[in-house]
Amino acid sequence: MEELIVSVVELKGSYPNIGLKQSKEIKTSMLLEQFNLLQTLSTNSNSTKAQEVLKTVSPGILEELKGIANGLEMELDLIVKFYSGYDVSFPPMGCTTFVNDHNYVRNYDFSPELYDARLVFCNPTDGYASVGFSHSVIGRLDGMNERGLVVGLHFVNNHDKEEGFIATTIVRMLLDQCGCIREAVDLISNIPHGYCYNYSITDPSGVGVVVEASPQKQVIRFGKSLSCTNHFESELLQDKNRSEIQGSLKRKEYANSLLKKKLSPISLYYHFNDGHSPLFYKYYKEYFGTLHTVVYSPKDLSLIIGVGENCAPIMVSLKDYLGETLTLPTVIKGKININ
């Protein structure tokens, strides 16, 4: 077993100041080690076009990128290529989500080598406060904002690629700018998508939404209870799926079986985080190992978090954070079996 340590980061203020603070973090952490990798992944990224699109769909994130550039004393064009998630390549990842009874439960599966290992509490002056796990600093793998909007991503395919944003940047945009499902669905349809991803979304209404998004079109599925994995279900987009989706289908079948049970948030957590669960994977060297489990409860803005396998649950509240009554841990530790 190998230790996995997730840093808990607090960001407040204007977007440029949030960027500046993260530039200091980049200088003093393992995030600096990602530079060579980011350079490889963003070889063909069009920084000028990315900035033009950001000015329209997410000016706050553009200002944050400017703050990072200033702090690192690097050209903005280079920082936008590295961190905006616009027109970059990325390996496949997995994840399973379950929405039921006002709870959103999720396992994120990938490689620790490409994992930021950051849980970020972000409170921008000109956007909604949120908490979520970061990717490439500005992006989010999943998260919940102060209005109770919860969003997570699910990789489907990296074929049929077009110029557009990677899903982690899109999740961040939704958390910063949208107060409910309807606003999220409206915004996501106006963002250029680079790859095929599912987005699972809920809010305090208890309604769940899956947005099946390809670069060419989006299909929306609503439901009080739903699960989501790594394939498209709609007839319009099924031809975009990878040839082998049996693993995704099996995880979805198991997640659907949980819909029939009245499980508490902590029970759901253990169903997902148990190292023997059909939803917990250990193929870390193949970019498919479970790195974190999280239960978001949008009605009361609470979270149950675990890092790695069989982690003692950590319970925090975004509401308490906003009320300045929450003392944030500095790190969350867990263990993964990478052999």
β-pairing verdict for 2-13 and 118-124: parallel
Question: Does the residue 259 lie in any domain?
Answer: yes
pLDDT at residue 133 in the model: 98
Q: What is the pLDDT of residues 76-134, one digit of tens each?
A: 999 999 899 998 877 777 899 999 989 999 999 999 988 999 999 999 999 999 999 99
Mean per-residue pLDDT over the chain, rounded: 93
Q: What is the CATH number of the domain that holds 213?
A: 3.60.60.10
pLDDT at residue 230 in the model: 96
Question: Does the residue 70 lie in any domain?
Answer: no
Residues with Cβ within 8 Å of 268's Cβ and at least 6 positions away in sequence, in order, are 98, 103, 105, 258, 295
Residue 71 clears pLDDT 70, i.e. is over it: yes
Q: Which domain holds residue 226?
A: 2-8+91-336
Question: Does the residue 84 lie in any domain?
Answer: no
Question: Does the residue 39 lie in any domain?
Answer: no
Domain count for the chain: 1
Least confident of 153-162, 172-181, 329-338: 153-162
User: Could you tell me what percent of the chain has a pLDDT over 90?
Assistant: 85
Q: What is the pLDDT of residues 200-231, one digit of tens each?
A: 999 999 999 999 999 999 999 999 899 999 99
Question: Does the residue 262 lie in any domain?
Answer: yes
- DSSP labels for 134-198? EETTTEEEEEEETT--EEEEEEEESSS--SSB-HHHHHHHHHHH-SSHHHHHHHHTTS-BSSEEE
Question: Does the residue 198 lie in any domain?
Answer: yes
pLDDT at residue 92 in the model: 75
